[in-house]
A = this chain, B = another copy of it.
Amino acid sequence: MLSTTPRTTLGRKKHRAVTDRSALHAVLDEGLICHLGVVRDGVPLVLPTGYGRDGDTLYLHGSTGASSLRTAADLEVCVTVTLLDGIVYSRSVNNHSMNYRSAVIFGTAKPVVEPEAKMHGLKVLTDHLAPGSWEHAREVNAKEFAAVSVLALDLAEASVKMRAEGPDDEPEDRDADAAWAGVLPVRTVFGEPEPSADLSPGWEVPAHVRGRE
């Protein structure tokens, strides 16, 4: 079960809360980027960030453009991953909605410094961003390893919220039958791989790229 601290207990639409850990893992594994929130100089800062999950640890790419993320020791964060699944067209403007799955995680992101753990974090990040690349591409060298930053966040305090249903119209609007109602699905898809302009001739797109779903 996911935690139910006050800040992860939904204040409204509680029926949208999902409380099992597999749902949290599924959202995190399907998402490609997270939105990382921190407090900087007393105001919020939200940046798109690469991540990866291993068990109940979320690894975050520490080089996101905010210097505070790279220099802080422990960092209070909120990490949110949202999958938009559809636009819900209701018979009334007011009941329009979205179908989605979202995960919100609170906690302290800690820099991973121990070399073996840091290398593992890099592998998890790479496996999430580009499955197969850890094996296919040139490995991280010592200089790169020293320059890169990996943060780890425990998935202890997290909540998942979702909506996955058709329009929820008022009875009088259904009776009036004056507007269309339904869901327009939204999907994230991969396009045709685009080889680098400087790639030498003879390369075929490898299976881990071509076959990605």
**A positions within 8 Å CB-CB of B:** 7, 10-13, 32-33, 35-48, 50, 63, 65-67, 76-80, 82, 84, 86-87, 89-94, 96, 98, 100, 102, 104, 106, 122, 126, 129-130, 133-134, 136-141, 144, 148, 161, 166-167, 169, 173-174, 176-200, 203, 205-206, 209, 212
Contact = CB atoms under 8 A, between A and B. Distances in A.
A36 to B, nearest CB: 8
Given A32-B186, A93-B138, A166-B198, 11 more contacts: A12-B63, A43-B76, A44-B44, A47-B102, A48-B82, A48-B84, A92-B138, A92-B144, A96-B126, A136-B179, A177-B200
A206 B184 CA distance: 12
Contacts of A192: 185
A80 B96 CA distance: 22
B180 A136 contact: yes
Contacts of A196: 166-167, 169, 181-183
A184 B180 CA distance: 36
Contacts of A181: 195-196, 198-199
A123 B35 CA distance: 27
Contacts of A10: 65
A143 B200 CA distance: 65
